[in-house]
Copies of this chain bind each other. A is one copy, B any other.
Amino acid sequence: MFKYSRNVSPHPQDTRQLILDTALRLFEERGYAATTMRAIAAEADLSPSNAYYWFASKDELVQAFYNRIQDDHLDRVADVLEGRGTLAERLSAVEHGYLDVIGGYHGFGGAFVSTALGSAAANPFSDESTRPREKSIAIYREVVAGARPAVPEKIRGALPELLWLCHLAITLFWVTDTSTDQQRTRRLVDATVPLLVPLVRVARLPWGAAAADQLQRALAIVMERSVV
């Protein structure tokens, strides 16, 4: 592995990665609250001002981490999204893939979610989170679009955002899951995914269109936060 020191000039993007990697390692080892930006810089063998150039605050590290998680999640489930399967099969694979990706970060997951909730910038609905949020919602759009049998058109508009919100709820559950390897969260995914079947079935009923419209109205209120 390439060794950085103050005497070489690595590619800027590498420096950014190095800081993030170092930060995640220290959060794991020492806890989120106890890890300062100065300590991260020292551990990465960088001057504090260099580290601050890349991340003005720990909030911005949370953002970058959130962004990386989405990239890793997409990498992990790309095959599933390109393949075929029922809506339930695809969603199950995508959620379990996500739990694989975040598994190593459980030690400071709670601190990250706390930060995200307590910060106007770092929360998943903020303007600043637009990029990672859009990446994540795009995964659920693919889950819906590629499902066979096809998802009824009535519910196709609302479903990706609904699934993304459920995905956030699963993340919250995972954060406080104290079971070994967060197996309880896995069980929750397995018990929740089959609820898609009656949901889609309702969309096919004559009165399903009105229910889907109402769902879309509720989702619009949640999601409009992201454009305010």
Which residues of A approach B to under 8 Å, CB–CB? 110-111, 113-115, 117-118, 120, 123, 125, 169, 172-173, 175-178, 184, 187-188, 191-192, 194-195, 197-198, 201-202, 207-208, 210-211, 214-215, 217-218, 220-222, 224-225, 228
Contacts and interface: CB of A to CB of B under 8 A. Distances in A.
Contact of A173 (B192, B207, B222): B222
Nearest to A192: B218
A216 to B, nearest CB: 9
B118 A225 contact: no
B221 A191 contact: yes
Number of identical monomers bound together in the oligomeric complex = 2
A195 B222 contact: no
B207 A198 contact: yes
B188 A214 contact: no
Contacts of A173: 222
B120 A113 contact: no
A118 B107 CA distance: 11
A57 to B, nearest CB: 15
19 contacts: A110-B117, A111-B118, A125-B176, A172-B172, A176-B225, A177-B225, A178-B228, A184-B224, A187-B221, A188-B222, A191-B214, A191-B220, A192-B218, A195-B211, A195-B214, A195-B215, A195-B218, A198-B208, A198-B210
